[in-house]
Amino acid sequence: VSAAPSAFSDEKGGSASEPEYGHDPASGGIFSSDYKRHDDLKEMLDSNKDSLKLEAMKRIVAMIARGKNASDLFPAVVKNVACKNIEVKKLVYVYLVRYAEEQQDLALLSISTFQRGLKDPNQLIRASALRVLSSIRVTIIVPIMMLAIKEAASDMSPYVRKTAAHAIPKLHSLDPEQKDQLIEVIEKLLADKTTLVAGSVVMAFEEVCPDRIDLIHKNYRKLCNLLIDVEEWGQVVIINMLTRYARTQFLNPNINESLLEENSEKAFYASDDEEEEDKKAEPATLAKRKPYVMDPDHRLLLRNTKPLLQSRNAAVVMAVAQLYFHLAPKAEVGIIAKALVRLMRSHSEVQYVVLQNVATMSIKRRGMFEPYLKSFYIRSTDPTQIKVLKLEVLTNLANETNISTILREFQTYIKSMDKDFVAASIQAIGRCATNIGEVRDTCLNGLVQLLSNRDELVVAESVVVIKKLLQMQPEQHSDIIKHMAKLIDNIQVPMARASILWLIGEYCEHVPKIAPDVLRKMAKSFTNEEDIVKLQIINLAAKLYLTNSKQSKLLTQYVLNLAKYDQNYDIRDRARFIRQLIVPTDKSGALSKYAKKLFLALKPAPVLESPFKDRDHFQLGSLSHLLNAKAAGYQELPNWPESAPDPSVRNVEIPDWSKCSSRKDRKEKKVEKPFYSDSEGESGPTESADSGNCESDSGSGSASASGSDESGSGSESEESGEETESDEEEEDEEEEKKKRKKLDKTKAKKQAEESAERCTIHTIHQISCIINFDQFDMNKITSVFSQTLAPSGSIKMYELLHRIKGEGLAVEYCFSRQPFSPEPNMVAVQIQFTNNTNSETKNLHIEDPRLQSGMRIREFAEIDVLAAGESVTVVMGIDFCDSTQAANFQLCTHTRKFFVSIQPPVGELMTPAFLTENDFKKEQGKLMGMNEILEKLTLGEKCVNEHVIVERVTATANLSRVPCGSDKECRFAGKTVSSGCLVLVTVTTKEGGGAQLTVNCEKMLIGTMLVKDILQALSQ
Amino acid sequence: MIHSLFLVNASGDIFLEKHWKSVVSRSVCDYFFEALERATEPENVPPVIPTPHHYLINVLRHRIYFVAVIQSEVPPLFVIEFLHRVVDTFQDYFGVCTEAAIKDNVVVVYELLEEMLDNGFPLATESNILKELIKPPTILRTVVNTITGSTNVGEQLPTGQLSVVPWRRTGVKYTNNEAYFDVIEEIDAIIDKSGSTITAEIQGVIDACVKLTGMPDLTLSFMNPRLLDDVSFHPCVRFKRWEAERILSFIPPDGNFRLLSYHVSSQNLVAIPVYVKHNISFREGSSQGRFELTLGPKQTMGKAVESVLVSSQLPRGVLNANLNPSQGTYTFDPVTKLLSWDVGKINPQKLPSLKGSMSLQAGASKPDENPTINIQFKIQQLAISGLKVNRLDMYGEKYKPFKGIKYMTKAGKFQVRT
């Protein structure tokens, strides 16, 4: 026992000067010393001094970093997971994440610490708890992780939400079966409006459900607009995803050009009689194709990504470049060239990737890079792989006008010391020669000169390239063939020898004297040649036998005999095959007649193509493109759709429900007047297209787009007001009468507002109270009435300013649930002032409202005098923009100012809507999926019957009851005040006090909050 | 995204590994070592190496290979750019990024890597944020930490992470408030045999060292902003303002950062500040070669050309060089055949020259490659493109900062073909 501490202190002394274990002084085996060392680490970890623990953890982390196994310390380390010292804790996390997979049972001991951490008030601790929890790859905790992620996804702190987004792919890779639930979380986080979350959640989207393009629709515009403020790594991920999205949702901007090309080709090749048909067909096809108009959303994407070409991050620039290459109209793609050329100054790895992509682009769009030709000139200090890529680009850019400068440049390259690069340069010259007829002879001459180069590799490469060039016009170049035949004595590179032999064989008629002699030499050295050379010797022999059998018969026999006993079976096979084919025997088959045709057929000249041709079917900038092979997890870039999918799916300002129906109504009405409707039908789309164009021209971007949207909904809201009225007219007369009454009342109220407002409200109050009592008995009839009046019985007063704080002035407010007549999309707030002082209060009014963007206030008229002991009630309107954000303002008297705020419960943000049972079902059907929230609950003790449920629900939210056939179900409907989104609530009761609550609302936030409130109300 | 990271030193040893997801065995690096063997030069290792189950993406900086292991499709530049950012961060923290520095600070390195990536996706890469999370090791802090037992790890979430200016930390305080800007331009050029310019372009950067209290809002304007038509910005620069007014408006990060880099392309006319007269020749049949080199200034706007260094890779056949410099010193490495001549300052009255003979392998034929000459130089107080800063203004804070601007022109990849 006493030995242990001393050993420990020794170790400690040693460790201060030498934090790592460099060498082992004791000659005990590795195992024993390891065991010992770990023993002292364990003791340090068990001590109660943080500094010792930290020291131990640092040494353990150093071990991990060097790849040493430290797993046997797991129990000792994991104990410290709850350590107070934050650095120790962090290092324990590092350890835990590294080894948890191996020690699953022990890892579970730490889970409760993280669960506690998830509830910590400090967001950093919450986030790091979630981070570590989700990084522990232990399947048993999947449910805990799922729960934690779900909770974190609705955390207040965007940083925690970001961590939640990061955790999603972790959980998905641990347990793919959680996919569906994770998609729900992704959906929720996609709706997040902070830039911090955007990149991470799109990353999660790409890993978990990249095919769920439908989740993007609603967030598309937001993502486009946020893009510039997202951190750079997120930008890359979002841009890549949006490229794919755009390919599925928009039309090909170059569609007209490709159409023109098609047509011109047709016209060129078409014979006369076909042409006539074409003439008929052409106008038809052209007529079918509408003139292309770019979707404003497509334009939005292009416009918002363009500034990112200026990013300092090469990955972002590349992402934008590929987006433009794949999505932009031809005329606009050019802008990316400058940025890409700029990237070439970066680190050589960046250069490598960029050049690969430039090489692919330069084939499709040569003109784009032509002005930057000189930026691709090669320096002797470039690494070889960069040189070769630059060469590729230069070759792709070569055309009639610049070929002379390029060739001059190539000439200097041939003199380089880097032989691989010289070989590539020779190939490049060959390619230029095949592509540009004018310089073919010049190139050929240059290459022939290279044949006398001292470097054999250079000569060999030239031979191979010359062979390909000669195939294009062999007649004129028998001199060169002769020259090459002479070279065979000196060149040792097998590929070059094979090429020369093939050339001589192929064109043996041009060099009738030399060819047999070459065969003679080759027969002599046959056994020492490489396999490809041997094959070509057999080939040459066969061809000579067919053309000049007199001189070469015996030689051929000799070669074939040699080949017969070769070690390589390919060569033996070839010999057997050729013998059968060319040497006439009795048994020789029908083919030998055609031997000459078989061997000496005219062969098409090879096309020297860039290896980068057609690589653009891979998304540029991707790993798959770089490797020219599909990498795991690569998402194909979809082809453009034939016709554009519905663009309205991206409308975020919820496509006004009333607006839609009213449109439909209008159209139906117009059927009677076909003249108008026709013209309307045509002008509709062009109008929208025009406005799209204006937008893109104005360049003010997102703001204008969303602005116009908003204003659209604003103007619409008045209409919707009228519309509800007209809807109501269709309902029962009985109801209509009541409605009239109500209207009268409000009119009366308006008139009396200034003078005797209080009285009217009082009367309303009284009436509503009376009705309230009776309501439950005449449930069905009051369904309309309940809309305005029923809930007011349970109106709750909230305190705005306490008597003491307000120095005698007490202010209370309530949500009267009356429509606010001056502005229908405002919530009416009824405010009651009571003057508890002994003196008058003068000039009561509102000042300096501080509101969230979009919110508006309609102030009440100033109250001149409020006598001592009196109270007065006024009504003001607040447009909360369908959010529960508080409206802050100052309440001013002639002497004082008080800061106050009004925060609405979510239930007050809506007004009742009247639906029939069928309408309700129809609308509910439209609001499925992400718009539907289901929740099970147990009803509170007092919720015994339907009436109580109706009462509770209507008290919580300003909704109206919808008639329903089943008595197990209660349905309620309403619309949000500012944007008029439908809110549908269904409560289905079950045997034994259970119930299910369904809320359908397009505004998910409202839906969720409403669910919470109703749940609370019902379970009390 | 990024699964694991291995650091490999010049002798091919893995000296650090870090895994962000399941552990990937270090044997995956064997594929990298194969590629390393195949490559003739260290910089010729392909940046992306496919293996049966993984892809290896590597960058080479400071003679260390940073090998990232990835498993599925990810933009290669994303990984490359991130790895470079890691190197920059190490350099920022430890002053140098060497194997020794990384080994000495292995715990900080690990903590940094932990913060920079979460599950393989970049989390915090902004230096200002990282420095709030993990304080850089200084001698003083190391001493204090050992005495008091306090730590390097911050306890609060860096406020920058949540704010709209994630690149700046809050609560910055200085007694001397100063802002320095260095305009540095590098000329990349290829000059042909006859002395005419084949291509020349300028790569410029504006590096800043800003030590200002609070949340200053700076604007920087130029006399001739038209020169800057191809620029990339630090994220702090307000792009809209630049587009509209050609003014750089930004809330700077604290400390050193690169505000902007720009490119004056080969389509513009670029002044070449030095010329080279050379005569390098080998005679057929003789084992001697002649070497003559003279440097001279041109288009320097009256400024002195300093720190001139000439280097050239001579052909393989050259055994030795016997040269005579008029100033400075020269070295010739007979193994790598690299000739370098440290010239110093060019005196226009007495042009520096290097003359002499080279001995070739006896009996070998005359080399047919021509060596290229690489030149490095510096010119103080001059931006060769003509860019000039007009003024720097500060808003948002009340004190008066000390401001300074420095110009410098350097040779980038400046090559003369012979």
pLDDT digits (tens, 9 = 90+) for B157-201: 555 555 667 788 777 889 999 999 999 999 999 998 888 888 899
| DSSP character at residue A439 | G
User: Which candidate, A343, A306, A230, A235, places its Cα nearest to that of B261?
Assistant: A343
Average pLDDT of the residues of chain A: 77
Q: Which residue has the higher pLDDT, B17 or A934?
A: B17
Would you call A235 an interface residue with chain B, using a CB distance cutoff of 8 Å?
A: no
B342-383 pLDDT tens trace: 999 998 889 999 999 888 887 766 776 778 899 999 999 999
Would you call B390 an interface residue with chain A, using a CB distance cutoff of 8 Å?
A: no
Would you call A156 an interface residue with chain B, using a CB distance cutoff of 8 Å?
A: no
Please determine, for residue A16, whether its predicted confidence score (pLDDT) is greater than 70.
no
Residue in A with minimal Cα distance to B59? A349
| Residues of chain A with C-beta less than 8 angstroms from the C-beta of B188 | 345
Give the confidence band of A589 by pLDDT, cuts at 50, 70, 90.
low
Q: pLDDT value at position A185?
A: 93
Element (H, E) at B101: helix B99-104
CA distance A468 to A526: 25
| DSSP character at residue A613 | T
Q: If you average pLDDT over each of A37-41, A314-318, A779-783, which comes out highest?
A: A314-318
Contact between B213 and B172 (Cβ < 8 Å): yes
- Which among A623, A630, A700 is the top mutation candidate for probing chain B, defined by the most B β-carbons within 10 Å of its own β-carbon? A623
Give per-residue burial for B222-256: e unless 16+ CB within 10 Å, then b: beebebbebbbbbbbbbbeebeeeebbbbbbbbbe
Judged by CB atoms closer than 8 Å, whether chains meet at B48 and A627 is answered as yes
Residue type at A23? H
| Cβ count near A28 (within 10 Å) | 12
Contact between A179 and A164 (Cβ < 8 Å): no
Binding-face residues of B in 268-307 toward A, CB within 8 A = none
Please determine, for residue A267, whether its predicted confidence score (pLDDT) is greater than 50.
no
Binding-face residues of A in 444-503 toward B, CB within 8 A = 453-455
CA distance A883 to A925: 25
Residue type at B302? G
Binding-face residues of A in 76-135 toward B, CB within 8 A = 85-87, 90-91, 93-94, 98, 101, 122-124, 127, 131, 134-135
Binding-face residues of B in 166-195 toward A, CB within 8 A = 166, 188, 190, 192
Please determine, for residue A547, whether its predicted confidence score (pLDDT) is greater than 60.
yes
Q: pLDDT value at position A306?
A: 92
Residue in B with minimal Cα distance to A453? B368
- Which among A343, A380, A459 is the top mutation candidate for probing chain B, defined by the most B β-carbons within 10 Å of its own β-carbon? A380
A673-682 pLDDT tens trace: 333 333 333 3
Q: Is A340 helix (H, G, I), strand (E, B) or coil?
A: helix
CA distance A654 to A662: 15
Q: Which residue has the higher pLDDT, A807 or B241?
A: B241
Least confident of A549-558, A576-585, B235-244: A576-585
Q: If you average pLDDT over each of A447-451, A645-649, B201-205, which comes out highest?
A: B201-205
Please determine, for residue A421, whether its predicted confidence score (pLDDT) is greater than 60.
yes
Q: pLDDT value at position A724?
A: 42
CA distance B223 to A520: 79
Residue A99 burial (10 A CB sphere; 0-12, 13-18, 19+): buried
Q: Å from A67 to nearest chain B CA?
A: 6
Of A315, A374, A379, the CB nearest to B77: A315
Least confident of A50-54, A315-319, A703-707: A703-707
Judged by CB atoms closer than 8 Å, whether chains meet at A375 and B46 is answered as no
Judged by CB atoms closer than 8 Å, whether chains meet at B78 and A311 is answered as no
Judged by CB atoms closer than 8 Å, whether chains meet at A203 and B188 is answered as no
Judged by CB atoms closer than 8 Å, whether chains meet at B121 and A233 is answered as yes
Size of interface A-B (CB pairs under 8 A): 240
CA distance A657 to A663: 10
Of B44, B75, B152, the CB nearest to A385: B44
CA distance A616 to A325: 10
Q: pLDDT value at position A916?
A: 81
Judged by CB atoms closer than 8 Å, whether chains meet at A339 and B230 is answered as yes
CA distance A956 to A963: 19
Question: Which tokens hold the place of B294?
Answer: 């003279």
Q: What is the DSSP string of A854-902?
A: T-EEEPPPPEEEE-TT-EEEEEEEEE-TTS-PPEEEEEE-SS-EEEEEE
Q: Which residue has the higher pLDDT, A358 or B163?
A: A358
Question: Which tokens hold the place of A991?
Answer: 């045997």
Residues in chain B predicted with pLDDT less than 50, given as ranges, are none
Of A94, A371, A381, the CB nearest to B114: A94
Judged by CB atoms closer than 8 Å, whether chains meet at B47 and A352 is answered as yes
Q: pLDDT value at position B79?
A: 95
Give the orientation angle of helix A348-364 with respect to helix A335-343, to 10 degrees: 150
Q: Å from A602 to nearest chain B CA?
A: 40
- Find where tokens 């962000």 sit: B20
What does the angle CA A101 – CA A106 – CA A111 come to, to the nearest 5 degrees? 85
Judged by CB atoms closer than 8 Å, whether chains meet at B21 and A101 is answered as no
| Cβ count near A120 (within 10 Å) | 13
User: Which candidate, B235, B231, B234, places its Cα nearest to that of B246?
Assistant: B231
CA distance A613 to A118: 53
> Span A824-836, mean pLDDT?
85
Question: Which tokens hold the place of B62?
Answer: 């400071």
Element (H, E) at B35: helix B29-38
Q: Is B218 helix (H, G, I), strand (E, B) or coil?
A: strand
CA distance A576 to A585: 13
Residue in B with minimal Cα distance to A316? B78
Judged by CB atoms closer than 8 Å, whether chains meet at A64 and B26 is answered as no
Judged by CB atoms closer than 8 Å, whether chains meet at A375 and B233 is answered as no
Would you call B23 an interface residue with chain A, using a CB distance cutoff of 8 Å?
A: yes
* Three-class DSSP labels, A204-225: HHHHHCCCCHHHCHHHHHHHHH
CA distance A219 to A655: 14
| DSSP character at residue A629 | S
Q: Å from A413 to nearest chain B CA?
A: 10
Binding-face residues of A in 270-309 toward B, CB within 8 A = 307
Phi-psi region of A910 (alpha: psi -120 to 50; beta: other; left: phi over 0): beta
User: Which candidate, A473, A481, A601, places its Cα nearest to that of A543?
Assistant: A601
Of B61, B76, B231, the CB nearest to A623: B76
A952-999 pLDDT tens trace: 888 888 888 887 777 778 888 888 888 888 888 888 888 777 888 888
- Beta partners for residue B48, in sequence order: B57
CA distance B155 to B44: 44
- Which among B78, B144, B360, B413 is the top mutation candidate for probing chain A, defined by the most A β-carbons within 10 Å of its own β-carbon? B78
Contacts of A986 (CB under 8 A, 6+ apart): A924, A969, A970, A971, A972, A997, A998, A999, A1000
Judged by CB atoms closer than 8 Å, whether chains meet at A454 and B368 is answered as yes
A728-743 pLDDT tens trace: 444 455 555 555 555 5
Q: pLDDT value at position A68?
A: 87
Q: If you average pLDDT over each of A3-7, A437-441, A477-481, which comes out highest?
A: A437-441
Contact between A484 and A451 (Cβ < 8 Å): yes
Judged by CB atoms closer than 8 Å, whether chains meet at B233 and A385 is answered as no
Q: pLDDT value at position A36?
A: 54
- Beta partners for residue A910, in sequence order: A976
Give the confidence band of A289 by pLDDT, cuts at 50, 70, 90.
low
- Find where tokens 């095949």 sit: A434
Percentage with pLDDT > 70 across chain A? 78
The runs of H, that is alpha helices, within A328-380 are: 330-333, 335-343, 348-364, 366-369
| Cβ count near A935 (within 10 Å) | 14
Binding-face residues of B in 142-171 toward A, CB within 8 A = 149, 151-153, 155-157, 161-162, 164, 166
Q: pLDDT value at position A625?
A: 92
Binding-face residues of B in 41-100 toward A, CB within 8 A = 41, 43-44, 46-48, 50, 55, 58-61, 70-78, 80-82, 84
Judged by CB atoms closer than 8 Å, whether chains meet at A166 and B118 is answered as yes
Contacts of B363 (CB under 8 A, 6+ apart): B287
